[in-house]
Structure 1
Amino acid sequence: MDYELDDDPARIQPDVVWAYLSTDAYWGRWRTRVDIEAQLASAWRVVGAYRADTGAQVGFARASSDGIGFAYLADVFVLPEHRGHALGKQLIQRMIDDGPGRDFRWVLFTADAHGLYEQFGFGAPDATAMIRPSRQG
């Protein structure tokens, strides 16, 4: 199967993003549909992965940023039936290294996929990082 990646926010399919994040994403199921739509609307950058034949969205990544030197990577996913085609790598590549924030300081939070993110230079926080954990779950 062939896929294409696109950073056009108008192409994002909110129903697909909501369906995954509200049921399968361990990191933020507490968010409402309104929350997700607000995050999509205010995102600094989004990247979607799509089936080339149908245009159906099968993957997603979102970033928030100050647009100058810092970005937060969030909500990265590939639908289970489309995994194994390097779409996760392609999403991260397109978002970070091929995008306008390639020289930024990037952060993310993840309980899995450390090996994927390490390929793009992510590692344990350095001595300058402090984190206040979420109170929402």
Structure 2
Amino acid sequence: MSVFGSFELDDDPRRIDRDAVWRFLSTEAYWARWRQRDDVEKQIDGAWRVVAVYDTASGATVGFARAISDGVSLAYLADVYIDPSVRGKGLGVELVRFMVDEGPGHIFRWALHTRDAHSLYKRFGFAPPDSGYMERPGARPAIEP
């Protein structure tokens, strides 16, 4: 657990308000609106690590990120968000820092897909892939933001 101003970051999966995560991902996240509730539940349950941001006054979940990993050398960062009501306070930076640099994967090679927030991720060393990276796109059509 980490304290950041009047917020707390925690990687305890039992503490996550799944309704809050579902609400954001199903209505606000351009990358996740196609998912069903059961998909999100499976993704949270199967994650290698989850981190949520909580408002210490209300206990509300105001941010979230999950990662999948082999637990040894590689991790994939996904579903990073901060609720619009608390943006602009540095919580996105703190959330990514806590997930990537403060956890058990701090020495891993990390990957992610994003259409926005590039400047946030660059702070943590994310960059276009090197020549050793290849990807097979999924079958679902991309959803535009």
TM range (shorter): over 0.9
8 Å contact kept, 1:71–1:105: yes
Q: Hey, what's the Cα distance between the residues in 1 that align with 2:43 and 2:100? A: 19
Q: Which residue of 1 aligns with 2:22?
A: 18
Deviates more, 1:125-134 or 1:60-69: 125-134
Q: Which runs of 4+ in 1 moved over 2 A?
A: none
Among candidates 78, 88, 94, match of residue 92 of structure 2: 88
SS in 2 for 1:125: coil
Q: Which runs of 5+ in 1 are unaligned?
A: none
Q: Which residue of the partner structure matches residue 139 of structure 2? A: 135
- Secondary structure of 2:138's match? coil
Q: Is 1-10 or 11-20 further displaced after alignment?
A: 1-10
Deviation at 1:50, TM superposition (A): 0.5
2:40 maps to which of 14, 36, 41: 36
CA-CA distance at 1:132 after TM superposition: 1.3
Among candidates 59, 70, 87, match of residue 74 of structure 2: 70
State the secondary structure of the residue aligned to 1:47: strand
Query: Which residue in the other structure is 2:57 paired with?
Result: 53
Please tell me whether the aligned partners of residues 23 and 29 of structure 1 are also in contact (alpha carbons under 8 angstroms): yes
Instruction: Give the TM-score normalised by structure 1.
Output: 0.98
Q: Which runs of 5+ in 2 are unaligned?
A: none
Tell me which amino acid in the other structure corresponds to 2:13.
Answer: P
Q: What is the alpha-carbon root mean square deviation over aligned residues?
A: 0.9
2: CA distance, partners of 1:84 / 1:134: 33
Aligned residues: 137
Is residue 30–residue 136 contact of structure 1 (8 Å, CA) maintained in 2?
Answer: no
Q: Determine the C-alpha separation between the residues in 2 that align with 1:94 and 1:116.
A: 13
